[in-house]
Structure formats: C-alpha cells, structure tokens
Amino acid sequence: MPRQALAFLVPARHPGDAAAVAALFDQGVIRPEEVVAILGKTEGNGCVNDFTRAYAVEALGHMLAARLGTDLATVLGRVAMVMSGGTEGGLSPHFLVLGVRPDGPPAPAPALALGVAFTPEFPPEALGRMAQVDATAAAVREAMSQAGIPDARDVHYVQVKCPLLTSERMAEARARGAACATDDTYASMGLSRGASALGVALALGEVPRAALDDGVVGRDWGLFSGRASCSAGVELTRNEVVVLGNSPDWGGALSIAHAVMRDAIDLPAVQRALSAAGLDAGAGQLPAEEAGRLVALLCKAEPSSSGLIRGRRHIMWDDSDINATRHARALVGGVVAAATGRTDLFVSGGAEHQGPDGGGPVAVIVRG
C-alpha cells in the first residue's frame, strides 16, 4: 500500500489553543503518531518579540506529548512546528496539521507527498551565511529523500522555520570572539530567512552553488527560489524543513501546485496556482464548492525594495509605526482572500530570496 499524506486545517481561538487539533485525534481522522508537522498562523506582530509563536509551540507540543505518552523534547525533536506570526487585515489564525499514514489508498494520479528534516543547531555566527545555506540545502535533500521525491521538479513548496539573533545570542558569540552577520536583531530575521531560501534554491537546482557566497545573502535579489517559504522565530536554534510535492508512489486525494507572484497584487499568479491544482478559478473568486476543496493556501509577502508597485509609490518601508512586513501581509492577504473566498490562509511576511523582489511563491493544497 502507498503512503498517504494527511492535511487538516483547523481554527485557533488564540495562540495557545490546541483544542481543535486535539479534536482531530478524538474524531479519529488522524492519529497523534502520524503527525509530522504543524504549520500555524498566530496573531502576534511577526517580529523579534513575537512570543505567540513560542506559546503555540509549547501548547501544541505539550498536548501531543500527553497524547503520545512522551515528553515535550521528544515531540519537538520529531515534529516540525512552524509558527508564522502576523494575521493582519482579515487573515484568520489557524493551524495546518500535516501527517503521514503508512498504508493509504491508491491514487490514480500523483498525490501529495511530504518529508520533514532538521538541520543541526546553529551557532549565532552561522545565521545569514553560507553555513546556513549549505545546512538547509542538505536538509531539503534529506526531506526529499524521505518523501520519495527524486526529481526537484515535483517539489512545489518548501517550508522552513529558521532562527533569529537575540541580544543574548549575539553576546554569547562575542564572548567566544565570533562575529555575527549583523548586530541588529530585526535584520537578522531577514538574513536568516534569506540564507534558508537560498539553501532551498540550491537544493532544488534553482541557483548554482558557484553563484552563492556570504555577500549575496540579503543583497542580490536576482537569486531566489520560486518554491521556498521561510519564517524566522526566537523559539528555535536550528532550521526545520518541510518539503511538499507530488509523487505517484503516494496515495490519497490530496495534491499540490504552485505559481510565483511577480508582485504583491499579482492576482493572475494566484489564479494560475488554483487552476494548476485543479480548481475552477475562472476570472473571479472561487465558487463556494471549489473553495471547499481548498485545504490550504500558503504564500509569501514582501514590500518591494524599490518602494514601487508597478511604477507607483508605496509607503510600507517608510512607516515608523507599523513594520513593513505587517503591511505586506495585509496587502497580499487581501489579494489571496479575494481570489479564494477564504481568510484562513498562510500568508507569511519577509520574502527575502523567496520569489522575485516584491513578489513570492504561492502554493495550493487541494482535495480531489
């Protein structure tokens, strides 16, 4: 029997609300031991001090540990917990539970396949540099192997959760005589995301190794992955990697497709992703029955570095009250919500080297 990928999206009343995930176990639709990753959107600010991410990880981890009869460390050592802060605009907080069933039903066409891998723990000075790029690339290859996806063309989305620098972590590095890539904690988020994305690009053959060095991270926006989505947080010190693609060796009714938004208002790219996944996107909003087949939409949001969208000025980088990535999440969230008729969408801010400057990847998981 083929393996079967499982995916269930549930609402979250607050970042520590594990009840809806626990209900999936009570209903018998997925078993705790089948869970390999949980992706979440929490209503924090998405910045360095967004502890809603860690709160969600703790709550979900303890709940899973109790269900599995083990401890939190064991759960976090096996399950990728990817929490993305920021549900600005109309975005709805939620959790996407991903699992693997070893004996799923056969499928007439390639079905959703997934693999999870982890890098070693990073010292602070490795973040935003080639050490992080290479370690991420190795983890992506490991996750592809685990998923049984030998051809990178069959990979449609790679989710990475990566660390950031805190004042304490930078002080620890300085005490050892090591220099970090930046002394700005917020800037470290972008560098960590960027290095992780370039690691994905390297593993998938989107960027050659010869084009990469420490100097291009966070600087050369012509180098990017069209399938990477990277989110930084204070709650971990390694990269956690989830690879999603299609494989004829997997069963079940789920599949995935993707497209790349060229800018924040690229509605046609969203519609291409929906259509490629087999949904009747048409020229407007998904009909209700098609929206019901949509299991998850995952995309990146980033203000263009030029300060322009199709030649017209935006002020996202100039607002001292609201961080630019928060503006971008709200903007892109509105575009994809209008396309799908849904607001429980995984819109992640900070798209350094994830799609072209000002744009980003968009992936769609559907049920046949």
Query: Can you say whether the dihedral through the CA atoms of 303, 309, 313, 314 is positive or negative?
Result: negative
* Phi and psi angles of residue 300, each rounded to the nearest 5 degrees, phi first: -110, 155
Q: Is 84 annotated as a binding residue?
A: yes
Q: Is 193 annotated as a binding residue?
A: yes
Helix (H, G, I), strand (E, B) or coil at 16: coil
Q: Is 302 annotated as a binding residue?
A: yes
Q: Is 53 annotated as a binding residue?
A: yes
* Phi and psi angles of residue 170, each rounded to the nearest 5 degrees, phi first: -65, -35
Q: Is 85 annotated as a binding residue?
A: yes
Residue 41 bears catalytic tag: no
Q: Is 349 annotated as a binding residue?
A: yes
How far apart are alpha carbons 278 and 253 in whole angstroms?
Answer: 12
How far apart are alpha carbons 159 and 165 in whole angstroms?
Answer: 20
Residue 305 bears catalytic tag: no
- Residue of 210, 188, 206, 193 lying closest to 159 (CA atoms): 193
How far apart are alpha carbons 24 and 266 in whole angstroms?
Answer: 35
Catalytic residue among 231, 247, 255, 304: 231
* Phi and psi angles of residue 266, each rounded to the nearest 5 degrees, phi first: -80, 70
Q: Is 354 annotated as a binding residue?
A: yes
CA dihedral 127, 131, 135, 137 (to 10 degrees): 100
∠ CA 294-244-87, nearest 5°, is 55
Beta carbons of 155 and 200 less than 8 angstroms apart: no
Q: Is 355 annotated as a binding residue?
A: yes
Q: Please report the beta strands in the chain, taking only residues with DSSP state E, as ranges in sequence order.
A: 3-11, 35-42, 80-85, 94-101, 111-118, 155-163, 228-233, 240-247, 250-251, 254-261, 294-301, 308-309, 312-313, 346-349, 360-367
CA dihedral 328, 329, 334, 339 (to 10 degrees): 110
Catalytic residue among 41, 161, 192, 247: 161
Binding positions for substrate are 53, 84-85, 193, 231-232, 329, 348-349
Binding positions for Mg(2+) are 302, 351, 354-356, 359
Binding positions are 53, 84-85, 193, 231-232, 302, 329, 348-349, 351, 354-356, 359
Catalytic annotation, residues? 161, 231
